[in-house]
Amino acid sequence: MSAKVKAAVAGANGYAGMTLVNLLARHPHVELRQLTSRSFAGKPFESVFPLLDLKGEFVPDPDPAGIDVVFSCLPHNVGAAKAGGWLDAGARVIDMSADFRLKDPSQYPRWYRQEHPAQALLARAVVGLPELHERELVGAELIAVPGCYSTAAILALAPAVASGLFGSDIIVDAKSGVSGSGRSPSIGVHFSEVNESLGAYAITGHRHLPEMIQELAGIIGGLDSPLTPASRGSSPRSGQPRLQITFVPHLAPMTRGILATCYFDLEGSLVQLQDAYREFYAGQPFTRVIPQSPTTKLASHSNLCLVNVSAQNEKAVVTAALDNLVKGASGQGVECFNIAFGFDRKTALEAPIQWP
């Protein structure tokens, strides 16, 4: 495209929205036309973005007239009701919430305690994970960027699942920085609650779990239901073990970052598994297989997902680290935007994001 893409960011004052604005402000093919925020409506952009050369005032809601793309960073169940109108007005939508990630509408009451307000749009949404869906993202009109935990876990496990080199239930143990909880204050993310402390939460089931099952089951194929953990035994189609995932998230006393450690029984040799990962991610600009277990600091402030493949006796141990606000959210959204609009996938994503 020769002319700049006219973009609006809905919910621009949250952590995901702020990260997105910083990325889009340096994108050579984007013109930021609207930034919306109910709490900052009428205030100048510089009140939230003092280091960016942005002129204008926040408005309460996007006006899709004359807009090419709306990046929605609104809370869950809020943007879904608005997306249809944006699409009807001719704007594409890149949704950063969970509103279009799950294909099965029956899963939304279970995980989000509400019927989906725009079920007809679910079939139009493309899951915004370029390593798995790059072809589908080309020209896509509605993109659902996956969650931060699910991005880390899916990228940590996809090559093992695709190669069939896993032979048991999968355990995903993941730690996230506090910014993953959003910018709104609450006692659970109060400094004195999280500082010098580490704890598990959502032990009975986290809402990113069905995303993991949906995407990994889509690789295997042949499951009775991609969103229901199946019983033990082999898949009748592939001969592979049925997909079962136990996922436990933890809140770590750091601002940003996710480390996912995934365990499963190894089928075949470690060398075969490592070769499968290198082949799967060959040519991928942002997911890299590295020779040592990554730390969150290695991926911090970048759009990278760093993966290491190791083993302890007969148990495979795969670790993945990423920045929950970049590759786990807004960076991946811009990556999907670049693919959808025909730009180089790396545009605006190779320099670090400084804040928060």
What range defines the domain where residue 313 resides?
149-324
E strand spans, 37-86: 69-72
Of all residues in the chain, the percent with pLDDT exceeding 70 is 93
* Residues 139 and 240 grouped into a single domain: no
Whole-number pLDDT of residue 263: 97
Taking the C-alpha atoms of residue 181 and residue 36, their distance in angstroms, rounded to an integer, is: 20
Q: Is residue 187 very low, low, confident or very high in pLDDT (cuts 50, 70, 90)?
A: confident
* Residues 106 and 32 grouped into a single domain: yes
Does residue 356 lie within any of the structural domains? no
Whole-number pLDDT of residue 182: 75
Question: Is residue 262 annotated as a catalytic residue, yes or no?
Answer: no
Taking the C-alpha atoms of residue 296 and residue 258, their distance in angstroms, rounded to an integer, is: 6
Whole-number pLDDT of residue 232: 31
φ and ψ at residue 141, rounded to 5 degrees: -100, -30
Digit-coded pLDDT (tens) for 257-302: 999 999 999 999 999 999 999 999 999 999 999 999 999 999 999 9
Whole-number pLDDT of residue 192: 85
CATH number reported for the structural domain that contains residue 13 in this entry: 3.40.50.720
Whole-number pLDDT of residue 239: 53
- Asked if pLDDT for residue 164 goes beyond 60, the answer is yes
Higher-pLDDT residue of 129 and 189 is 129
Does residue 68 lie within any of the structural domains? yes
Residue 72 contacts residue 79 (beta carbons within 8 Å): yes
Q: Which of 73, 148, 305, 336 is catalytic?
A: 148
Supply the pTM of this predicted model.
0.92
CATH number reported for the structural domain that contains residue 222 in this entry: 3.30.360.10
Average pLDDT of the segment spanning 45-70: 94
In terms of DSSP bridges, do strands 92-95 and 5-10 run parallel, antiparallel, or are they unpaired?
Answer: unpaired
* Residues 78 and 182 grouped into a single domain: no
